[in-house]
Amino acid sequence: MNIASTKIYLASVQSIFQHPTWDVVLLVALFAISVFYGFWAGRRRIISAIIYTYVTLALLSAIPISTLQRFFGIRDEYGVRIALFAAIFILLFFLLGRGKVIGFPAARSVWQTFFLSFAQLGLLFHIILWLLPPAKAKLLAPLTRALFANPDYHIWWLLVPLGVLIFVRRLEAKEDW
């Protein structure tokens, strides 16, 4: 990189931080919330929350949303889906023991908890934006739409938290040896 391109790069970075777009705000918020959520919830609760998220998503796909909309007289399908997702997730969280996961010992390093919380929150952001109707998803900022609301990345958002869980579990198994 020469001096002229370095100055242009620094000017564009400075411009982004002086007038951040919602994309940048969302990514910074995701990072900050991951740190605080990781310390607050702890590793075991985060692991449980990841598992509850998958169970909730599976149950949500089996619920007849249109029947519920007609029964309650609600027109907003997105609102019904998000409300059901939140209700099922919270119900599972409280009914299944608030984070007691067998097979995962207490965290030995902070970075594992951070990666788990980042994967959990990223998955939750993706699910919320993935449930948006396509017309509303088009209104999102380009980076947010590309990273979190892109249907092409749905399988990756489902696999990444599982990959992090597997990776962390294997590290723990190696350290126990």
Q: Is position 137 within any domain?
A: yes
- Residue 99 pLDDT: 46
Tokens of 35: 């740190």
Contact in structure between 50 and 165 (CB atoms under 8 Å):
yes
Q: Is position 4 within any domain?
A: no
Going by pLDDT thresholds of 50, 70 and 90, the confidence category of residue 177 is low
What are the start-end ranges of the H helices in the chain?
Answer: 3-18, 22-41, 43-62, 65-72, 77-95, 110-130, 134-137, 142-147, 154-176
* Contacting residues for 73 by C-beta, under 8 A, at least 6 apart: none
Q: Is position 11 within any domain?
A: no
Mean pLDDT (whole number) for 33-62: 85
Q: Is position 8 within any domain?
A: no
Q: Looking up tokens 């740190």, which residue turns up? A: 35
Mean pLDDT (whole number) for 26-40: 78
Domain membership of residue 47 as a residue range = 21-176
Domain count, the chain: 1
- Residue 40 pLDDT: 81
Q: Is position 168 within any domain?
A: yes
Q: Is position 152 within any domain?
A: yes
pTM of the model: 0.73
164 or 34: which leads in pLDDT: 164
Q: Is position 5 within any domain?
A: no
CA dihedral (155, 63, 51, 151) in degrees, to 10, reads 20
3-state secondary structure of 106: coil
Percent of the chain past pLDDT 70, that is, above it, reads 78
Distance CA 14, CA 116 (A): 31
- Residue 1 pLDDT: 54
Q: Is the pLDDT of residue 13 over 60?
A: no
Q: Is position 14 within any domain?
A: no
Q: Specify the amino acid at residue 140.
A: L
Tokens of 50: 């990841």
